[in-house]
Amino acid sequence: MPPHESVYGKIRDKGRITINDATYDLVLYRSTNPNGSRGEFIRSFFPIFLSKDGTKEPEDGTKVVPVDDIIKNDGPVIIVAALPNPEGSDQGGREWVELKNVTSEAIDLTGWEMADKLGRPQLLSGILQPNEVKRFPITRLTQSDMHLSNKSGLITLRDRSSNQIATVKYSRARSGHIFQFNSDIESG
């Protein structure tokens, strides 16, 4: 296995080890510089359980969830489109995400949030009317606020109780390219 691997546009250091007859990938994520390049500081470090004596799940009942299993876009509010790489600067709310209420009732988004692949949040507010599509600019006010990566990324929508409502992934974003996301629900 290569020591460096790209996952959703992020370089990570990775090594496979065995501890007590269980196989793990140890993953080290580094900080990101303001220009999006790999930083010198460790952001997080964690093991990914792979198997134990030929089994796929740990004996303690913990479930291993591949990233593709968290991708969903079939809740009451769906992510319909995003512009991660506007022409020119990404600053000043030029990146955006569009959300759609696919229900027949208005949904209050106060306390809801979107997050990027690093979990950096953007708080939402306002009312999303039935079948309304609304564009939300990504403000990028600080380094700890949501940013949409130009390389590739995840966009997650959570309700005020932190329940995952939708998560989509996108590939490398060309300048000015708008990503359209499919839903498993027929919209009206």
Average pLDDT value over all residues in the chain: 79
Query: What confidence score (pLDDT) does residue 124 get?
Result: 96
- Residue predicted with more confidence, 170 or 187: 170
Residue of 89, 71, 73 lying closest to 81 (CA atoms)? 73
Report residue 133: phi and psi, to 5°. Answer: -110, 130
User: pLDDT tens-digit profile of 101-147?
Assistant: 999 999 999 999 999 988 899 999 999 999 999 999 998 878 888 98
Q: Assign residue 20 a region (left: φ > 0; alpha: ψ between -120 and 50; beta: otherwise).
A: left
Tokens 């708080």 identify what position?
Answer: 123
Query: What confidence score (pLDDT) does residue 67 get?
Result: 53
Q: Which tokens in the block code for residue 179?
A: 């990503």
Q: How many CB atoms lie within 10 A of CB 148?
A: 25
- DSSP for 82-104, written as a single string: EESS-SS-STTTTEEEEEEE-SS
- Residue predicted with more confidence, 34 or 157: 157
User: pLDDT tens-digit profile of 56-78?
Assistant: 554 555 554 555 567 889 999 99
Query: What integer is the mean pLDDT of 168-172?
Result: 91
Query: What confidence score (pLDDT) does residue 36 get?
Result: 65
Give the three-class secondary structure for 106.
coil
Q: What is the pTM of this model?
A: 0.62
* Distance of alpha carbon 186 from alpha carbon 136, whole angstroms: 22
